[in-house]
Structure 1
Amino acid sequence: MIVLAVAYGGAFGFGLPRAAYRLSVEPGEPWRAHLPDGRPLAGWFGAEGGGGPRWAPAGVCALVCGALGAACGIRPEAAVFVGVAPLVVLLGIVDLAVHRLPDVLTLPLAAATAALLGVAALLPRAAGSWRGALCGGAALGAAYLLLFLINPAGMGLGDVKLALPLGVALGWYGWGVWAAGAFLGLLYGAVYGLALLLTSRATRRAGFAFGPFMAAGALTGVLLGGFGA
């Protein structure tokens, strides 16, 4: 399972630069259709993008998928978590580039994660609860929506939408895992923000991409839940 997960993550991740380059635009702008040198950019999947390291996404995806494969083992939810992980990595890349989490990825990801876990719940050896997954997605989405309403300058709607699939994944293994993943996402982001302030690399009003920290917290929670199960 681990070998298959690593191979899948590496292969998928190697094709992410093109999708990341296409999606890394400011709100309201069309997706990129040409490379910086003016050549047309055909398709969404491939190693050719707008520059930057091509192997980094493949390495990150391989590592994440391998860790999920090790934690979940030969259980049906493993295929779901490993399958959607590269899309979460893609969202993190785009968020780091332009501080944006496109709806074209977040909303379908939430629907796909919920639907696939629903199928997994019907199969033998499933170690989670589909009802818990749905409740977890709704709860984390509502929590981030509340944070957005309290402080719109510090939380984007993209973060609220990303919270839906992450909450679904965390809720699968129960409320303890959900709480751990939700808290760790906030903690990782807070530690990074504090580090920026202490090193004078940002001011208190400066924003940064929060999606990767949400995803890291959710990954930690799912790993804990998988190994615990």
Structure 2
Amino acid sequence: MPVADLPLGAIAAVALAGGLSLGPWLARVSVRLARRDDAAPAGSLRTALTVVLVVPALAGALLTGGMRPGTVALAWAGVAGVVLAQVDLAVHRLPDRVTVPAYAAVATALLVDALALGTWTALLRAALAGVAAFGLAAGVAVLSPKGLGFGDVKLLGLLGLVLGWVGWGALLAGVFLGLATGAAASVTLVAAGRAGWRTALPFGPPLLAGAVLALALQGQALPT
């Protein structure tokens, strides 16, 4: 179903229901992954913040993709990004327990989209973009391990898969905006005296922010 056929009220209701049902669980997941403690609870503030982040992630996926299998890929990547960003901000780590299942879910959803709608070209582009993003990031991580960790490499591969499915322009915009967001955050923290020029900062949240901005700029120009 095209996005235009989806009432905004229905999108808001689905996103809100998804946020309220998934948010508390995802909050606990993020806390437990950060602390490496499977029994750690999530506070009320963390839970509320997670719900607030999950709702627009789901709404954005529906607004961008409408009712199609590829929307599941966008939604899964967005929800996984909420958890990854929280863990990375807390402990500078992007856990494989979130990233690896996200690869499988996104790839499966895009394959189903190709089977249902014939978007094989977009699927191939997504695979090439994911491999390219992963490979280039891995090369940077080898040359400068303090600048880019392998958790960031795997995240870039995942974002390459999603953005590449939308288009090469979305991929380039996402990478550029992610780097720009990271640079702006670093300069802001240094100017505020919260960090030094050599302070290691989490790179996952800026990469995710760049991907979100790229998808927002892309609008509804998805593979058909």
Structure 1 pair 67/170, CA: closer, same or farther in 2 (3 Å)?
A: same
Paired letter, 1:19: V
Offset, 1:117: 0.8
Counterpart-to-counterpart distance in 2, 1:128 and 1:32: 43
- The farther-off stretch of 181-190 and 139-148 is 139-148
The answer to whether structure 1 residue 17 and structure 2 residue 10 are counterparts is: no
CA contact (8 A) 1:94 1:101 kept: yes
- Identical counterparts, % of pairs: 34
1:184 maps to what in 2? 177
Paired letter, 2:33: L
Matches within 5 A, 1:51-66: 52-66=45-59
- The farther-off stretch of 71-80 and 125-134 is 125-134
Counterpart-to-counterpart distance in 1, 2:149 and 2:86: 16
CA contact (8 A) 1:129 1:172 kept: yes
The answer to whether structure 1 residue 32 and structure 2 residue 37 are counterparts is: yes
Counterpart-to-counterpart distance in 2, 1:11 and 1:213: 26
Counterpart-to-counterpart distance in 2, 1:142 and 1:172: 17
Structure 1 pair 212/128, CA: closer, same or farther in 2 (3 Å)?
A: farther
Structure 1 pair 153/83, CA: closer, same or farther in 2 (3 Å)?
A: closer
Offset, 1:125: 8.0
Counterpart-to-counterpart distance in 2, 1:186 and 1:143: 14
1:77-130 per-position Cα deviation (integer Å, ceiling 9, x unaligned): 112212342122111111111110111211221222122211112213859710
Structure 1 pair 152/51, CA: closer, same or farther in 2 (3 Å)?
A: farther
1:204 maps to what in 2? 197
Gaps of 5+ in 1: 26-30, 36-47
Structure 1 pair 138/9, CA: closer, same or farther in 2 (3 Å)?
A: farther
The answer to whether structure 1 residue 136 and structure 2 residue 129 are counterparts is: yes
The answer to whether structure 1 residue 214 and structure 2 residue 207 are counterparts is: yes
Q: 1:225 aligns with which of 194, 215, 218?
A: 218
Offset, 1:218: 1.2
1:115 maps to what in 2? 108
Gaps of 5+ in 2: 1-5
CA contact (8 A) 1:75 1:125 kept: no
Paired letter, 1:61: V
RMSD: 2.1
2:79 maps to what in 1? 86
2:162 maps to what in 1? 169
- The farther-off stretch of 123-132 and 197-206 is 123-132
Counterpart-to-counterpart distance in 2, 1:73 and 1:184: 25
Structure 1 pair 57/214, CA: closer, same or farther in 2 (3 Å)?
A: same
Counterpart-to-counterpart distance in 1, 2:50 and 2:215: 21
Paired letter, 1:149: V
**TM norm structure 2:** 0.86
More helix as a share of residues: 2
Counterpart-to-counterpart distance in 1, 2:91 and 2:44: 15
Q: 1:101 aligns with which of 88, 94, 102?
A: 94
Structure 1 pair 94/146, CA: closer, same or farther in 2 (3 Å)?
A: same
The answer to whether structure 1 residue 69 and structure 2 residue 62 are counterparts is: yes
**TM norm structure 1:** 0.84
Offset, 1:9: 3.3
Q: How many residues align?
A: 212
